[in-house]
């Protein structure tokens, strides 16, 4: 039990006859054998799990506040690339703030205005500790890579 968070990417691959031979060809296999219950000609989207977090409540709070309109309901919400870029920039601010010249992690007051933690049933720690820094850094690098790939359809959902 606890807060699980997912970011998926959808890539449109619908096969259309009028597009000629330049279209995408999809094959679906399971354990190296064609998967009989899916007709590749009817596949419209490929859905990839591109990011998973567990109990990173400050990241979840950001999605609830900035993507879900404040409604924390475990629904699935479309995320614009510009929103991912905004989150990536906030993660970078946390990383830069944590890299103080004295080698010590900055205090809670230094992070509360950037990516504040949030309480919730089984939402994880509200401390601004090394785990907070590490998960934020992992998020930054993952988002930086995703943004560089240039996809346009992302979705966020959570479960708790």
The pLDDT, as a whole number, for residue 105 is 65
Phi-psi region of 45 (alpha: psi -120 to 50; beta: other; left: phi over 0): beta
The structure tokens listed for 9 are 């990417």
Phi-psi region of 74 (alpha: psi -120 to 50; beta: other; left: phi over 0): left
- Give the side-chain half-sphere CA count within 13 A for 6: 15
Bridge-based pairing of strands 29-30 and 33-34 is antiparallel
pLDDT digits (tens), the chain, 160 positions: 789 999 999 998 886 766 555 566 788 888 999 888 888 888 889 999 999 999 999 999 999 999 999 999 999 999 999 999 999 999 999 998 887 656 666 777 788 889 999 887 778 888 988 899 999 999 999 999 999 998 889 999 999 8
Number of residues assigned to the chain: 160
Give the start-to-end residue ranges of the domains of the chain: 4-159
CB 50 within 8 A of CB 139: no
The structure tokens listed for 65 are 């506040």
The pLDDT, as a whole number, for residue 21 is 57
Buried b or exposed e, range 29-44, using 16+ CB within 10 angstroms: eeeeeeeeeeeeeeee
The pLDDT, as a whole number, for residue 10 is 95
The pLDDT, as a whole number, for residue 18 is 62
Q: Give the distance from CA 116 to its chain's centroid.
A: 17
């Amino acid at each position: 039990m606890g807060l699980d968070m997912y970011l998926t990417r959808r890539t449109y691959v619908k096969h259309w006859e009028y597009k000629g031979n330049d279209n995408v060809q999809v094959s679906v296999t399971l354990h190296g054998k064609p998967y009989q219950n899916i007709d590749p000609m009817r596949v419209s989207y490929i859905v990839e799990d591109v990011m998973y977090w567990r109990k990173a409540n400050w990241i979840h709070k950001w999605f609830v506040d900035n993507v879900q309109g404040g409604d924390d309901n475990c629904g699935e919400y479309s995320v614009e690339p510009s929103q991912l870029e905004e989150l990536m920039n906030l993660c970078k601010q946390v990383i830069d703030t944590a890299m103080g010249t004295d080698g010590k992690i900055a205090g809670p007051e230094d992070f509360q205005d950037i990516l504040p933690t949030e309480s919730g049933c089984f939402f994880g720690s509200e401390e601004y500790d090394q785990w907070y820094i590490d998960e934020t850094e992992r998020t930054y690098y993952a988002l930086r890579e995703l943004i560089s790939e240039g996809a346009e359809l992302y979705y966020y959902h959570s479960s708790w």
